[in-house]
């Protein structure tokens, strides 16, 4: 009995030692964060692994007419494997696995990927179409560091307010419908399931409660965060379900379980295609939104195909297709000539910087207030995460 | 006549019936397990249903217990019609062949179950359970689990459990079948004693004729779902009503047809119990049986034949001889090992046989 | 060479057992150990990178933040509710299968109970999402009685989880009931017990270990589930969801959180073990 115990302890100790050794190995290295941008491209590796937002890498399976993946494969010989992510957090954690070559990161993921070294700087010379990107999207704080680009801008847009036209009357034009007035649709309100959604509440408070002094929905001090959280807790009572899986939102609106809530244009389109009476609008307060960047992993196994994809997705034709399908402004000015609706760029304000000042692109909140305040400490994303868990209760 | 030997019960209850079956029939699908059986068990009686396996005796017991519903007929307990009464409302308890003790309960809880079900107060319940355990000599086992007991002890727990609230009738389904010989004989005595002291009507099912003969006040011999004969052990043994009874209860020499004419001297079917046949040396004339007291000479004549011994089996207290008669008929003879055998009583020896004529009694075939 | 076969067979036995044992210790227990170990690390709140500094902040936060307690309690109650519902459903169903139905029907019934296990988990969960939806069949069936379907939420989660794990409860209970000797039921009736009394005093104690064994499945499966909650839970948040969302953001916190169901299950197993039900697993 005694002997068995001793040997059990010994093997347990051995396992622990092994684990510690393994853990030590894992934490070593990593000083040289981010790797290097290549000087020239070689032959394609035959495949590329992509992390994308829904609707960013369509291969015709949702709609046979919507397909820019197969032409790419035919042209480059790079087989595309797409992993659709629902949130920026998911993208960040997928990138950390090192199994993906490129990602369509929004502003709340880009800086985190740059800081963690998961994204590599991009040699824009190897992306011929880069020259046609709107200048306003180049060298922005969310896609570059020390003057070096960490990706190729993809496009931008706003989070919209979607509602069932048969159930929500009168037609809403303000986010008030899902915040202060949410009780009217008790149990049928939906919201995006990510801590970043706190910014939507903050954005609404910018107008509804000017006394809070919110200037940037991503720069909230503790008091402002608390105000946003209590607004969201109030909304929580009326929420039927939160969504991050776009399919789930489509079925919820189609079935009438959700009648009003935040959405993306592409989801609105798909829901309409399912014959559900829905409409998506940009409320008068403006909106949160995104400006996406295709980034290359510092551990990319297929960098050549990744660069080919970067160039392809911002090429005028493909960029126009994505922009029209997802419902956003393209990043390539030449794409505006390729859209099936000639007014697409105008409708989505592709070159209208004034408009995009009303859209607050997703970005990661940090302790140094992003609105330039020096006298306050802002809440960082970890605090937002905790706050979001508490909102959902 | 032999019924007068039935032990007189205390008081005036002697004539009342405990169990009565009237034309009870039970079919399982197309198989008729019980066929229009009439049966009366008197109060305070130790009654046995004796028969080979598959004869329907257990079905009869289960009909009385209420586990089976008769296809036709009527069942009474203490004069009340209980044909449609469920088992839990019949004043009869069963001791199962495999005991069926509740494995998750202690011995005491098992024994007290009938009282618990009836809502008897705990103190009284425990006292009566202990008392029942004392009756079956199991004091000190109250807290054990059935799994911790031997077969004989479980048997006693099952008895105590069935007796604890003094049912009018106790039904015993081959209760001793799983016990070894020594224990079985001990339990036979004990069961009989228990029945005597409690005065409860016992209805026992068994295939063991020894058991039935030893313990019962009366026996019903069952065959193919019918009762062949009912009566006290002596009567069933000595005067079997049918050839089947004669063969099943004890061993016998059955003689029919030509053999009956040759051996018994009359046509018909006759039974001669093997212990009733005397062996003598062939030269000697048939003599008076030495075992019988000479003061009472037997009435009637004796018959004698000569045969050849083909087999001798020494079985402790007695020896069994198989004897071939000249025409090929065979007789079995049992002889107590009391004194010297006739000289010719050896294998292949010529031997004389004799019996009282009334010991060759006719049985309906 | 009489010793050769023995040492040879011992060698073979060792070779045969080594891979699974290695797998058990390294892959299975090892990953669990790493998980618990990583709960003591920190996260860079900006990059979500794991920082290997030893600390107990995660557990401190876990124990002091009220919302985690609320979520843990909600998860626990749902697991308990699912277990109780499954036990209540499984008992009569298993009883019918093992005792009431004819011998010929037992196998088909058993197959019928097992068949849903072959369908994909997600397929079943989404089917329930459709059924429980605003225009689903549940609402339509209740409509004529002036009732509403439960919609998406805690009730829906309990319903769907109870549905998903029911076979895990029925099987052991069915096995126990089938093993229960008919004689015991007869003995109980013989001694004066009615049907309810027999059920309470004889049948239930006999199947109690089986119910507990089944509850180990229903309880631990419910405790760890997060997909069903996502699909039909509406805004309900369970431990599994919090862990799943923290995995992408804060792995050490997720590890600390996942210690909660581990502790709950270990406690539950210990309680069940005391009741002696593990013998029948």
**Measured distance CA(C87)–CA(C85) in Å, rounded:** 5
Q: Could B102 and C188 be called an inter-chain contact, meaning their C-beta atoms sit closer than 8 Å?
A: yes
Which of B82, B88, B174 would best serve as a mutation to test chain C binding (most C beta carbons within 10 A)?
Answer: B88
> In chain A, what is the greatest distance between 2 CA atoms, to the nearest angstrom?
84
Cβ neighbors of B167 (< 8 A, separation 6 or more) are B91, B92, B93, B200
* ipTM of model: 0.78
User: Which pLDDT score is estimated for C37?
Assistant: 87
User: Which pLDDT score is estimated for C6?
Assistant: 65
Q: Could A89 and C33 be called an inter-chain contact, meaning their C-beta atoms sit closer than 8 Å?
A: no
What are the DSSP calls for A86-101, one per residue? SSHHHHHHHHHTT--S
Question: What is the chain A residue with the closest CA to C232?
Answer: A241
Shortest CA gap B87–chain C (Å) = 5
Q: Tokens 């960490």 — which residue?
A: A150
CATH class of C66-280: mainly alpha
**Measured distance CA(A16)–CA(A37) in Å, rounded:** 40
CB neighbours (10 Å) of residue B217?
A: 21
The CATH number of B253-362 is: 2.40.50.100
Judging contacts by C-beta atoms under 8 Å, the chain A residues touching residue C125 are none
H helix intervals, C31-102: 31-38, 57-64, 66-95
CB neighbours (10 Å) of residue C42?
A: 17
Shortest CA gap C182–chain B (Å) = 9
Q: If pLDDT is split at 50, 70 and 90, which confidence band does B353 have?
A: confident
Buried b (16+ CB within 10 A) or exposed e, C73-103: ebbbebbbbbbebbbeebbebbbebbeeeee
Question: What is the chain A residue with the closest CA to C70?
Answer: A393
With 0-12 / 13-18 / 19 or more C-beta atoms within 10 angstroms meaning exposed / middle / buried, residue A91 is buried
Average pLDDT across chain A, whole number: 86
Q: Write the DSSP symbol of residue C7.
A: H
- The mean per-residue pLDDT over the stretch C82-108 comes to 89
User: Which pLDDT score is estimated for C247?
Assistant: 80
What are the DSSP calls for B178-214, one per residue? TS-HHHHHHHHHHHHHHHHHH--EEEEEES-HHHHHH
Shortest CA gap B197–chain C (Å) = 22
Tell me the per-residue pLDDT of A215-267, one tens digit each, with 9 for 90 and over.
Answer: 999 999 999 999 999 999 999 999 999 998 888 899 999 988 999 999 988 88
Q: Is the pLDDT at A7 greater than 90, yes or no?
A: no
Mode of pairing for the β-strands spanning A239-243 and A152-158: unpaired
Percent of chain C beyond pLDDT 90? 28
User: Which pLDDT score is estimated for B283?
Assistant: 56
Which CATH superfamily includes the segment(s) B2-242? P-loop containing nucleotide triphosphate hydrolases (3.40.50.300)
According to DSSP, the residues that pair with A260 across neighbouring strands are A163, A189
pTM of the model: 0.75
Q: Is the pLDDT at B2 greater than 50, yes or no?
A: no
Average pLDDT across chain B, whole number: 85
**Measured distance CA(A46)–CA(B274) in Å, rounded:** 103
Instruction: Give A9 or A173, the one with higher predicted confidence.
Output: A173
Shortest CA gap A36–chain C (Å) = 19
Q: Would you mind telling me the total number of residues written for chain C in this entry? A: 281
Using a CB–CB cut-off of 8 Å, the residues of C that contact B are 181, 183-184, 186-194, 197, 201-202, 205-206
- Which range (A4-8, A84-88, A301-305, C157-161) has the least confidence? A4-8
> In chain B, what is the greatest distance between 2 CA atoms, to the nearest angstrom?
79
Domains along chain A? 47-157+290-361 (3.40.190.10), 160-263+366-392 (3.40.190.10)
Q: Is the pLDDT at A12 greater than 60, yes or no?
A: no
What does the domain layout of chain C look like in residue ranges?
Answer: 66-280
Using a CB–CB cut-off of 8 Å, the residues of A that contact C are 11, 15-16, 18-19, 22-23, 26-27, 87, 89-90, 92-93, 96, 111-113, 115-116, 118, 187, 236, 239-242, 245, 248, 251-252, 255-257, 364, 366, 380-382, 385-386, 389-390, 392-393
User: Which pLDDT score is estimated for B109?
Assistant: 94
| Residue/partner pairs of A65-68 with CB below 8 Å, 24 or more apart | A66/A321, A66/A325, A68/A312, A68/A313, A68/A317, A68/A318, A68/A321, A68/A322
Judging contacts by C-beta atoms under 8 Å, the chain C residues touching residue B94 are 186-187, 190
Q: Write the DSSP symbol of residue A214.
A: -
Chains that touch B (3 or more CB pairs under 8 A): C
Q: Do A225 and A169 contact (CB within 8 A), yes or no? A: no
Instruction: Give B196 or B327, the one with higher predicted confidence.
Output: B196
- Which range (A28-32, A194-198, A337-341) has the least confidence? A28-32
Question: What is the chain C residue with the closest CA to B112?
Answer: C191
- Of the CA atoms within 13 Å of residue A78, those in its CB half-sphere come to 28
What does the domain layout of chain B look like in residue ranges?
Answer: 2-242, 253-362
Tell me the three state secondary structure of residue B362.
Answer: strand
Shortest CA gap B99–chain C (Å) = 9
C25, C49, C135 ranked by CB distance to A256: nearest: C135
Q: Do C230 and C10 contact (CB within 8 A), yes or no? A: no
Question: What is the chain C residue with the closest CA to B97?
Answer: C183
């Amino acid at each position: 009995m005694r002997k068995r115990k001793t040997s059990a302890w010994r093997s347990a100790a051995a396992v622990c030692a092994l684990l510690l050794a393994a853990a030590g190995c894992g934490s070593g290295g990593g000083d040289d964060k981010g790797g290097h941008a290549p000087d020239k491209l070689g032959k394609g590796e035959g495949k590329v692994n992509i992390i994308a937002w829904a609707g960013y890498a369509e291969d015709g399976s949702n709609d046979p007419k919507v397909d820019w993946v197969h032409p790419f494969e035919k042209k480059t010989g790079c087989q595309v494997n797409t992993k659709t992510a629902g949130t920026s957090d998911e993208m960040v954690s997928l990138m950390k696995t090192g199994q993906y070559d490129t990602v369509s990161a929004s502003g709340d993921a880009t800086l985190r990927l740059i800081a963690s070294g998961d994204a590599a700087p991009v040699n824009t010379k190897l992306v011929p179409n880069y020259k046609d990107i709107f200048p306003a999207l180049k060298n922005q704080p969310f896609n570059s560091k020390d003057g070096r680009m960490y990706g190729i801008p993809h496009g931008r847009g706003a989070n919209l307010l979607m509602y069932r036209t048969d159930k929500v009357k009168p037609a809403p034009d303000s986010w008030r419908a899902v915040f202060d007035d949410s009780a009217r649709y008790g149990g049928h309100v939906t919201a995006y399931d990510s801590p970043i959604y706190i910014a939507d509440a903050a954005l609404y408070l910018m107008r509804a409660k000017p006394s809070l002094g919110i200037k940037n929905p991503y720069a909230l001090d503790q008091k402002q965060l608390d105000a946003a959280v209590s607004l969201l807790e109030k909304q929580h009572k009326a929420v039927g379900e939160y969504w991050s899986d776009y399919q789930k939102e489509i079925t919820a609106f189609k079935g009438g379980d959700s009648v009003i809530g935040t959405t993306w244009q592409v989801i609105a389109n798909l829901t309409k295609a399912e014959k559900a009476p829905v409409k998506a609008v940009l409320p008068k307060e403006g909106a949160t939104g995104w400006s996406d960047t295709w980034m290359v992993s510092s551990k990319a196994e297929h960098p050549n195909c990744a660069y080919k994809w970067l160039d392809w997705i911002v090429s005028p034709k493909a960029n126009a297709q994505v922009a029209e399908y997802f419902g956003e402004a393209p990043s390539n000015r030449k794409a505006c000539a390729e859209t099936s609706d000639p007014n697409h760029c105008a409708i989505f304000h592709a070159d209208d910087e004034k408009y995009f000042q009303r859209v607050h692109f997703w970005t990661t909140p940090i302790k140094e207030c992003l609105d330039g305040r020096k006298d306050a400490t802002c809440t960082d994303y970890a605090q937002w995460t905790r706050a979001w868990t508490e909102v959902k209760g | 006549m032999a019924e007068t030997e039935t032990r007189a019960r205390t008081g005036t209850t002697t004539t009342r019936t405990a169990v009565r079956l009237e034309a009870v029939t039970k079919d399982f699908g197309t198989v008729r397990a019980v066929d229009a059986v009439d049966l009366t068990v008197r109060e305070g009686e130790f009654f046995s249903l004796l028969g080979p396996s598959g004869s329907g005796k257990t079905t009869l017991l289960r009909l009385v217990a209420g586990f089976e519903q008769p296809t036709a007929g009527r069942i009474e307990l203490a004069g009340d019609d209980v044909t449609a009464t469920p088992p839990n409302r019949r004043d009869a308890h069963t001791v199962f062949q495999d005991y069926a003790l509740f494995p998750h309960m202690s011995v005491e809880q098992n024994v007290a179950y009938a009282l618990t079900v009836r809502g008897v107060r705990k103190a009284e319940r425990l006292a009566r359970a202990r008392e029942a355990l004392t009756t079956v000599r199991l004091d000190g086992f109250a807290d054990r689990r059935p799994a911790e007991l031997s077969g004989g002890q479980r048997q006693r727990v099952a008895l105590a459990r069935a007796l604890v609230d003094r049912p009018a009738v106790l039904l015993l389904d081959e209760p001793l079948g799983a016990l070894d010989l020594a224990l079985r004989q001990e339990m036979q005595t004990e069961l009989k004693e228990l029945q005597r002291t409690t005065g409860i009507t016992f209805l026992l099912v068994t295939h063991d004729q020894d058991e039935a003969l030893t313990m019962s006040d009366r026996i019903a011999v069952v065959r193919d779902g019918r009762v062949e004969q009912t009566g006290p052990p002596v009567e069933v043994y000595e005067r079997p009503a049918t050839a089947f009874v004669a063969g099943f209860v004890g061993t016998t020499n059955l003689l029919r047809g030509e053999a009956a004419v040759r051996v018994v001297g009359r046509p018909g079917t006759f039974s001669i119990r093997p212990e009733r046949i005397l062996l003598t040396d062939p030269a000697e004339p048939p003599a008076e049986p030495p075992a019988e007291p000479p003061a009472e000479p037997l009435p009637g004549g004796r018959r004698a034949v000569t045969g050849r011994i083909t087999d001798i089996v020494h079985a402790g207290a007695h020896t069994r001889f198989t004897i071939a008669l000249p025409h090929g008929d065979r007789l079995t003879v049992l002889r107590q090992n009391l004194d010297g055998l006739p000289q010719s009583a050896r294998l292949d020896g010529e031997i004389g046989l004799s019996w009282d004529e009334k010991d060759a009694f006719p049985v309906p075939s | 060479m009489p010793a050769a076969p023995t040492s040879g067979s011992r060698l073979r036995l060792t070779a045969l057992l080594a891979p699974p044992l290695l797998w058990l210790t390294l892959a299975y227990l090892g990953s669990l150990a790493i998980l618990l170990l990583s709960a003591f690390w920190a996260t860079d709140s900006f990059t979500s990178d794991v920082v290997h500094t030893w600390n107990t902040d995660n557990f401190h936060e876990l124990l002091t933040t009220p919302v985690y307690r609320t979520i843990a309690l909600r998860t626990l109650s749902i697991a308990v509710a699912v277990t109780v519902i499954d036990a209540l459903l499984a008992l009569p169903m298993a009883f019918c299968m093992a005792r009431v139905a004819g011998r010929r029907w037992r196998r088909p019934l058993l197959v019928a109970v097992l068949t849903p296990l072959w369908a994909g988990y997600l397929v079943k969960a989404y089917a329930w999402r459709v059924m429980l939806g605003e225009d689903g069949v549940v609402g339509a069936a209740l409509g004529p009685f002036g009732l509403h379907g439960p919609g998406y939420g805690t009730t829906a989660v309990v319903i769907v989880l109870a549905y998903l794990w029911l076979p895990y409860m029925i099987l052991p209970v069915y096995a126990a009931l089938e093993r229960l000797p008919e004689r015991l039921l007869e003995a109980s009736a013989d001694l004066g017990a009615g049907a309810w009394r027999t059920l309470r005093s004889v049948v239930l104690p006999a199947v109690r270990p089986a119910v507990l064994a089944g509850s180990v499945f229903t309880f631990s499966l419910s405790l760890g589930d997060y997909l069903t909650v996502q699909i039909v839970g509406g805004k309900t948040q369970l431990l599994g969801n919090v862990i799943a969302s923290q995995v992408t953001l804060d792995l050490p916190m997720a590890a600390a959180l996942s210690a909660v169901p581990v502790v709950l299950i270990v406690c539950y197993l210990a309680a069940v073990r005391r009741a002696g039900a593990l013998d029948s697993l």
